[in-house]
Chain A
Amino acid sequence: MGKDKRGGDVVAADRRRFLKGATLGGAAAVAAPLVASAQPADPEAAPAARSAPPPGRPGAAAGVSVPPAPNAAAEGRIEEGEPTTQGSVASDYMIDVLRSMGVELVAANPANTFKALHESVVNYGMVSDPKMDLITCNHEEISVAICHGYAKIAGKPMACMVHSAVGLQHASMALYNAWADRVPVICITGHQADQTKRAGVVGWAHSAFDGNALVRDFTKFDDTPQSLGHYAEALPRAYRFCMTPPYGPVVLAVDEHLQEAALPGDRMPAVPARPKVSPPAGEQGAVEEVAKLLVAAENPVLMADRCARTPAGLAGLVALAEALQAPVIDAQSRMNFPWRHPLNQRANARQLVGRADVILGLEMGDFYGASANAPAAAKRISVTASDAYLKSNYGDIGRYTAAELSIAADAEATLPMLVEAVKRLTPASRRDALDRRGKTFAEAHQRAIERSRIAAAVGWDDQPISVARMCMELYDKIRGEDWSLVNGTVFQNYWPQQLWAADKHHQYIGDAGAYGLGYLPGASIGAALANRPHGRLTVAIGGDGDLMFTPGALWTMAHHRIPLLYVVHNNRAYHQELMVVQQMAGRMQRRSDRCQIGTVLTDPAIDFAKLAQSLGVEGETVTDPAKLGAAYARAIAIVKSGRPALVDVVSQGR
């Protein structure tokens, strides 16, 4: 075993050489014999294919000492003119550029179009400082979702690697979720630009001339670097774009031959620095105009959806609300406003919007819907960075909202200026009136809590377990911890927002963005990874239907010892869809009971505890509400020991 110029084992490079040309990988892998039988029948087979070693003797031609994986033996092909060993590899440099962008984690399921990057992560990135880690996944959708959840807690992107063509296809829905949720993700997909190097039918099937086109409608930027210098510009540019509000996913298709090439002169080129990004803030004159409208308003309403990208956004909105003593309606895609703040008026949204004279929408996903019942004379003001960068093919653009003023800027970055202007423009003579307004809202907030308590008590002892009880038993066990709830709560009737107390940004990160199913199992892993260094207790409540899309994430939780409590809201149905099919049956005056066909998940009822156990996660199923608290306590003890735990709560639909 030799050493390269940076001290790496040459055997590692040999192994890379040996595997060269293997065409199968990732979730799209097909049986090895398909390749073997396809090759002889292809008279136009590339020289590389013709030079494949005999089945069963894959190492003979390469002369390597590392035993191959069994299937690789049959699949591997050696390309003529390639070195058996090399002293350096471009993929190591690519890893260094990733690390320079602050990327500490890479999520992937293996695939041969990024095998050099994979090998560099494990044999270079994971053993040299700053050390990276590779999160092993079972589906590209999970890989992207892990990045999604991670970024919302960490405030920075991690990376995923996905196979060319089929891997990116698997990843595409999760990328759309990240796009719609305005979340930064760095997605690297393999690529094989040189057609003469594509091996056989699988190699061709796993390649595309412009693979990134698949996701271009819902990524902020994509590139296909043609050289290392190009890569060294493309990745920092991708980072800059994904971290400039509105945040969003970016994709780089990295040619596998570019990955595998030796570095020029076996020397590491200069590594670019991480760009410093300043988010776009509102123009001073426009912000002053907004402040004047808000100060003069009798019934202003503040709405926020993805306003708080960071804790600063949460603090900024609190400052604005308190300066105006104005109600805040949080649309809940982030922790925009403390749940128990007296000005939190989520529960009274319809009534307040119905009499509003000025409505300020901060990074609203659906400003039209949220303000639909406002009086005709109400003035709407929109502040969103999405106005500065959006695409229109997919519907996350939302319905057009006629606004008095639209500021194409990041709301969080604009808030300090707006708060200052509001304070400056508020006459002292108005303070008493504002304080009185604030007291009215504080009383309304308390009344809403009382209403929620009464509502939660109804059906408290029901079986299946009521959703309110599922949430409150959980809160009882975590309220003394530094907890982080990492699921959206719409399907839990926003019980946490109604009855829990939360005032920290990491305590709630919203939902998937585009409501694409399969999000939470992966996203909760990412969030837990980001929470782990802070010692936080990460908790997720997810639907049974969602978990059935990506159950493989449970194995990743176990394999990587992810400290995560995963609660399954197991209503044994795609429950939302059951209700809408019922709605249709009602319209047609036909039978509701038949609407369960195709919507319920029974016969057999899924045993999520056993599913979790089979994948290495300790889990238990609870049907008796009186036993739920103890089950949560047991699960939390497991999580505190550094492992994942699952509690399957057989529960009401909503």
Chain B
Amino acid sequence: MRMRLIAAAASLALLAGAPAHAADAQNGRKLFMEHVCYSCHGTTGAGGGAAGPKIAPGPLPLAAFARQLRHPNRMPPYTEKLLTDAEVADIHAWLSSLPAGKAPSQIPLLAK
């Protein structure tokens, strides 16, 4: 898992021309909360309907995730001024670390 995160961070770094960064999922969670990402996407990235799509579990690949943050369609843009590439990678690492939830078939209230 750790290797995968480093590799993902490296791909973002290549995108941005910066040195590779060992992503820190714990810092990513802290940043997610500090930047109030949860207001639209929920506290675990599960999404908020029309307010914001699901971004976890199973986020976009880091490069696409970073592109969406830097050049979004609807959401506020998060440029380098607000989030460095390393911080983006940290957030992505945290979102990637979140376990897949139950399938609807495993939830009685959704299986009916």
List residues of A whose CB falls within 8 A of some B CB.
453-462, 464, 466-467, 469, 472-473, 475-476, 493-494, 499, 573, 575, 578-579, 582-583, 585-587, 589, 591-593, 595-596, 652-654
Contact = CB atoms under 8 A, between A and B. Distances in A.
Determine the main DSSP class of A at the interface with B. helix
6 contacts: A454-B103, A458-B47, A459-B42, A467-B48, A595-B36, A653-B38
Interface string B73-97: 0011111011000000000000000
B111 to A, nearest CB: 8
Interface in B28-86: 34-40, 42-44, 46-52, 54, 57, 75-79, 81-82
B110 A462 contact: no
B101 A592 contact: no
Contact of A454 (B34, B35, B49, B104): B104
Given A586-B76, A593-B36, A654-B48, A455 B109 contact: no
B109 A472 contact: yes
Interface residues of B, number: 34
Determine the main DSSP class of B at the interface with A. loop
Contacts of B78: 586
B107 A653 contact: no
B49 A654 contact: yes
A579 B47 contact: no
A460 B101 contact: yes
A458 B101 CA distance: 6
Contacts of B82: 589, 591-592
Nearest to A584: B76
B24 to A, nearest CB: 19
B40 A459 contact: no
B101 A578 contact: no
A454 B102 CA distance: 9
Given A586-B78, A587-B76, A493 B36 contact: no
B43 A582 contact: no
3 nearest A-B pairs in the assembled complex, by CB-CB distance: A586-B76, A459-B46, A493-B49
A653 B102 contact: no
Contacts of A456: 104, 107, 110
Contacts of B110: 453, 456-457, 460, 472, 499
A575 B36 CA distance: 11
Contacts of B102: 457, 460-461
A469 B37 CA distance: 21
Nearest to B49: A493
Contacts of B76: 582-583, 585-587, 592
Contacts of A467: 48-49
A652 B42 contact: yes
Given A453-B104, A457-B102, A493 B50 contact: yes
A567 to B, nearest CB: 16
Nearest to B108: A476
Contact of A654 (B51, B57, B79): B51
Contacts of B77: 586-587, 589
Given A455-B54, A457-B101, A466 B42 contact: yes
A464 B43 contact: yes
A457 B51 contact: no
B43, B47, B109 interface centre (most CB from chain A within 10 Å): B109
A652 B104 contact: no
B56 to A, nearest CB: 8
Given A457-B110, A586-B78, 17 more contacts: A454-B103, A454-B104, A456-B104, A456-B107, A457-B104, A458-B47, A458-B101, A493-B50, A579-B39, A582-B40, A586-B77, A591-B82, A592-B34, A593-B34, A652-B43, A652-B48, A654-B49
B25 to A, nearest CB: 18
Nearest to A472: B109
B51 A579 contact: yes
A459 B75 contact: no
Contact of A586 (B52, B75, B109): B75
Contacts of A466: 42, 46
Nearest to B40: A579
B103 A457 contact: yes
